Amino acid sequence: MIQVSGLSKSFTDPKRGTHLAVDNVTFDVCAGEVFGLLGPNGAGKTTTLRMLATLLKPSSGTATLSGFDIVRQPEQVRAQIGFLSGDMGLYGRLTPRETLEFFGSLNGLDAVRARRRIDQVFLMLDMNSFADVRGDKLSTGMKQKTAIARALLHDPPVLILDEPTSGLDVPTARNIEAAVLNAKQSGKCILYSTHIMEEAEYLCDRIGVIDGGKLKAIGTMEDLRRETGKQRLREIFLDLLGLAA
């Protein structure tokens, strides 16, 4: 479903000059699978996901989502994805319901279908109590739930989620994790970035460890244990980063 091959992205800025934020990354994710992109701050997770969501153009390499090329068919790609970016804001003057109605119509849902889907995601994420409260009056958790609801609303085959539980308390994070597992069960292809070890271990079928823009290792927990000779993901992670545990 997602096939990434040799994807690179370089940024040029006055202070650092040109530097590679993502360096020749290759992996793929199947339908019904959660693939975790695990990496420290500045590793290039967000940049990779933004390229897949066609927000940034790759410097080289490419990827396909549901068979559509991110460089040549960006519009078709965007019709396939539900995208949640790490530091994504919410419309402050719109309620969660209005926000979802807007994104429903952008994704081509008619009014009837939009209403049904909105009711479903509100129920699933336990959002009914604040569905009609303006965005700027919501708590962090409520905002994040709305952002997730927006990504799930149109029932896209591919989900690209960038640190969806960052800044959330355990009950809310669990709520969101449940929604992700639910989506996996219904056969979605899910790319999930995080730097929380437990979450990666618990949710992801396979994990790719990224650091300095490079993929250091890819595999199931078993694969990673074998490769590093360590048991816990935290130790594996530090080992792959070249840091003593």
Partner 1 sequence: MRFTILKAIFKKELLDVLRDRRALISMVVVPLVVFPLLIGGIARLIPAMQTRAEEEASGLNVSVRISTPAIREGLEKAGLRLVDSENVKAAVQSKSAGAGVEEFAGSPPRISVYVDASNESSSAAGTRIREILTELRDREIRDHLRGAGINEDVLTPFVIARVNVAGERKMAGALYGSLLGYLLVLLMCTGGMYTVLDMTAGEKERKTLEALLASPARRSEIVMGKILVAITSILATAVLTLGSMAYTLKNAPIPGPGAGVNAADAPVENLRQRLGTIPLDASNVGLIALIFIPLAIFAASLMFAISLKARSFKEGQTYLTPLVFVVIFPALLGGLPGLKITPALCLIPFFNASQMIHGILTGEASSANFLVTMAANLAYSAIAFQLATRMFNDEKVLFRS
Ligand X SMILES: Nc1ncnc2c1ncn2[C@@H]1O[C@H](COP(=O)(O)OP(=O)(O)OP(=O)(O)O)[C@@H](O)[C@H]1O
Take residue 138 and report the two structure tokens written for it: 């919501």
Does position 241 interact with ligand X (CB under 6 A)? The reply is no
Does position 212 interact with ligand X (CB under 6 A)? The reply is no
Selected binder of Mg ion within 4, 21, 37, 46 (CB under 5 A)? 46
The smaller minimum CB distance to partner 1, of residues 50 and 216, is found at 50
User: C-alpha 7: how far from its chain's center?
Assistant: 17
State the Cα–Cα distance between residues 131 and 155, nearest whole angstrom: 19
Does position 228 interact with Mg ion (CB under 5 A)? The reply is no
Q: Which one of ligand X, Mg ion, partner 1, none interacts with residue 79, CB within 5 to 8 A by kind?
A: partner 1
Span 67-126, contacts to Mg ion by CB under 5 A: 86
Of 8, 6, 43, the C-alpha closest to 194 is 43
The conformation of residue 231, written as its DSSP 8-state character, comes to S
Half-sphere exposure of 161 (CA within 13 A, CB side): 36
Take residue 145 and report the two structure tokens written for it: 């739930």
Does position 47 interact with ligand X (CB under 6 A)? The reply is yes
State the Cα–Cα distance between residues 158 and 39, nearest whole angstrom: 21
Take residue 118 and report the two structure tokens written for it: 């909105």
The smaller minimum CB distance to partner 1, of residues 93 and 222, is found at 93
Does position 100 interact with partner 1 (CB under 8 A)? The reply is no
Interaction pattern, residues 51-80, with partner 1; x per rule: CB under 8 A:
--xxxxx-----------------x--xx-
- Rounded alpha-carbon distances, angstroms, from residue 193 to 36, 86, 137, 152, 165: 6, 9, 28, 16, 10
Q: Which residues bind Mg ion (CB under 5 A)?
A: 46, 86
Q: Which residues bind partner 1 (CB under 8 A)?
A: 50, 53-57, 75, 78-79, 81, 83, 85, 87-94, 98, 102-103, 105-108, 147, 150
Q: Which residues bind ligand X (CB under 6 A)?
A: 11, 13, 21, 39, 41-47, 86, 195
